[in-house]
């Protein structure tokens, strides 16, 4: 049985060009700052994002959590959209590592895209001494659990201007910011220019096997390097991984629009199925989240049948299923997934 893995865009295998670059990579000890390939990757990322400096980190979670640590002090709150990754999927690290508390907020329009009024009502700035002060505002673009929706540049600018006027730093979880940039027809630099720090993943839509980048001012990145080491993320001849990251940065962004078209096509097919509900217009990038409550089955059960009988892998959360497109899934794979979903929903 062929396998169509739509669980995440993290499941991609390195391309032949990445494997060649990894085999040929010039390396050195990166804890001494002597890996030329890592240094090139960091310089390239800083240039692309128009930030002073960048740091290669093993995972997006580590990049985000170093940022939380550097922007806050223990006892502070981090304001974040209620479905944000930093709050929901990073193992309470903001409390374990930084001693901070998440202050989750709902977006007023229900889309997952925060506006300044949503944020403002959750802030504790200059208030009573017995209230935990807000230390950081964390944004996410594209927003994974909100169906890959994108925060437009103008909204990011407005939020950051207001936050900075209150001396509040802003961190952007840009795990999939290249997808957002393609969907919004913006550059990654334009989308992240207003924020104080940004993390993006090489290992998601860009297709590299491992790695993420944290970017900010030179001073912030120097301090981030210390925290990366403290957290066990000081790696040695890691140019073998950075080499794949450089290929990913060069080759992947121009093809992300294909993943977005596949996701939209998938959503259009799903919208026709009995018991499944999604507005295909809401699918802006490579993530498709649809509601299955009217099928009468839990999403996990549907996913189990998709996998067992049709070789289609997806993720179930309560009454929702998430499918993520990526370069290892072709248009034919999307058609196969739709046929499989049609069979499974017909059996109900």
Ligand X SMILES: Cc1ncc(COP(=O)(O)O)c(C=O)c1O
Lookup: tokens for 309: 């009988």
173 in contact with ligand X (CB under 6 A): yes
Closer to ligand X by Cβ: residue 84 or 333: 84
The piece of 56-64, 179-187, 225-233, 336-344 that touches ligand X (CB under 6 A) is: 56-64
Which residues does residue 55 pair with via DSSP β-bridges, in sequence order?
214
77 in contact with ligand X (CB under 6 A): no
Quote the CA–CA distance of 192 and 142 in Å, as a whole number: 12
Give the chain's count of helices (H) and strands (E).
Answer: 14, 12
Contacts (CB under 6 A) with ligand X, residues 191-220: 201, 203, 212
Furthest-apart CA atoms within the chain: distance in Å:
62
The piece of 59-67, 93-101, 157-165, 190-198 that touches ligand X (CB under 6 A) is: 59-67
Contacts (CB under 6 A) with ligand X, residues 255-274: none
Q: How far is CA 183 from CA 32, 201, 247, 319, 324, in A?
A: 39, 17, 21, 27, 15
Q: Which residues contact 260 (CB under 8 A, 6 or more apart)?
A: 179, 182, 183, 283, 284, 285, 286, 325
The piece of 44-52, 58-66, 293-301, 315-323 that touches ligand X (CB under 6 A) is: 58-66
What's the min distance (Å) between Cβ of 204 and ligand X? 7
228 in contact with ligand X (CB under 6 A): no
Closer to ligand X by Cβ: residue 199 or 297: 199
148 in contact with ligand X (CB under 6 A): no
The count of residues interacting with ligand X (CB under 6 A) is: 12
61 in contact with ligand X (CB under 6 A): yes
What's the min distance (Å) between Cβ of 272 and ligand X? 28
What's the min distance (Å) between Cβ of 61 and ligand X? 3
| Residue selected from 71, 85, 260, 262 as contacting ligand X according to rule CB under 6 A | 85
What's the min distance (Å) between Cβ of 64 and ligand X? 6
Closer to ligand X by Cβ: residue 149 or 276: 149
Sheet hosting strand 315-317, strand order edge to edge: 287-291, 320-324, 315-317
Q: Which residues contact 276 (CB under 8 A, 6 or more apart)?
A: 270, 290, 291, 292, 294, 295, 341, 345
Quote the CA–CA distance of 11 and 327 in Å, as a whole number: 10
Closer to ligand X by Cβ: residue 97 or 201: 201
Closer to ligand X by Cβ: residue 59 or 293: 59
For residue 195, give the nearest of 219, 160, 165 by alpha carbon: 160
| Residue selected from 4, 175, 177, 283 as contacting ligand X according to rule CB under 6 A | 175
Omega of the bond leading into 142 within 30 degrees of 0 (cis): yes
Quote the CA–CA distance of 289 and 306 in Å, as a whole number: 16
| Residue selected from 6, 27, 55, 60 as contacting ligand X according to rule CB under 6 A | 60
What's the min distance (Å) between Cβ of 5 and ligand X? 15
Beta strand residue intervals within the chain, DSSP E: 4-5, 53-57, 77-81, 101-105, 134-140, 170-173, 197-201, 212-216, 287-291, 312-313, 315-317, 320-324
| 206 contacts 195 by C-beta, under 8 angstroms | no
325 in contact with ligand X (CB under 6 A): no
- With DSSP H G I counted as helix, E B as strand and the rest as coil, what are the percentages for the chain, rounded to 5? 45, 15, 40
Tell me which residue has its CB nearest to ligand X. 60
Closer to ligand X by Cβ: residue 173 or 259: 173
- Give the binding site for ligand X (CB under 6 A): 59-61, 64, 85, 140, 144, 173, 175, 201, 203, 212
């Amino acid at each position: 049985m062929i396998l169509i893995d739509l669980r995440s865009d993290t499941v991609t295998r390195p391309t032949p060009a990445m494997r060649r670059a990894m085999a040929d990579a010039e390396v050195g000890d990166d804890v001494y700052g002597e890996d030329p390939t890592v240094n090139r990757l960091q310089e390239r990322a800083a240039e692309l994002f128009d930030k002073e400096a960048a740091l290669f980190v093993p995972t997006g979670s580590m990049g985000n959590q170093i940022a939380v640590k550097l922007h806050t002090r223990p006892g502070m709150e981090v304001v974040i959209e209620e479905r944000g990754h930093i709050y929901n999927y990073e193992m309470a690290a903001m409390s374990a590592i930084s001693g901070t508390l998440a202050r989750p907020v709902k977006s007023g329009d229900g889309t997952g895209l925060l506006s300044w009024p949503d944020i403002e009502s959750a802030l504790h700035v200059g208030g009573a001494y017995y209230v935990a002060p807000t230390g950081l505002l964390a944004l996410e673009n594209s927003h994974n659990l909100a169906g890959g929706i994108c925060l437009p540049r103008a909204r990011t600018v407005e939020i950051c201007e207001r936050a900075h006027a209150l001396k509040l730093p802003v961190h952007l979880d840009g795990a999939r910011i290249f997808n957002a940039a393609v969907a919004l027809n913006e550059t990654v630099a334009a989308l992240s220019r207003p924020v104080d720090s940004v993390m993006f993943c090489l290992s998601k839509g860009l297709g590299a096997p491992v790695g993420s980048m944290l970017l900010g001012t030179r001073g912030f990145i120097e301090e981030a390097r210390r925290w990366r080491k403290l957290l066990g993320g000081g790696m040695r001849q890691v140019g073998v991984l950075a080499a794949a990251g450089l290929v990913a940065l060069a080759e992947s962004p121009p093809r992300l629009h294909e993943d977005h078209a596949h996701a939209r096509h998938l959503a259009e097919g799903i919208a026709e199925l009995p018991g499944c509900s999604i507005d295909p217009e809401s699918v802006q990038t490579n993530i498709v989240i649809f509601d299955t409550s009217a099928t009468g089955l839990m999403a996990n059960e549907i996913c189990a049948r998709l996998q067992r009988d049709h070789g289609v892998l997806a993720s179930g959360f309560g009454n929702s299923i998430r499918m993520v497109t990526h370069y290892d899934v072709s248009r034919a794979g999307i058609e196969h997934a739709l046929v499989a979903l049609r069979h499974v929903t017909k059996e109900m």
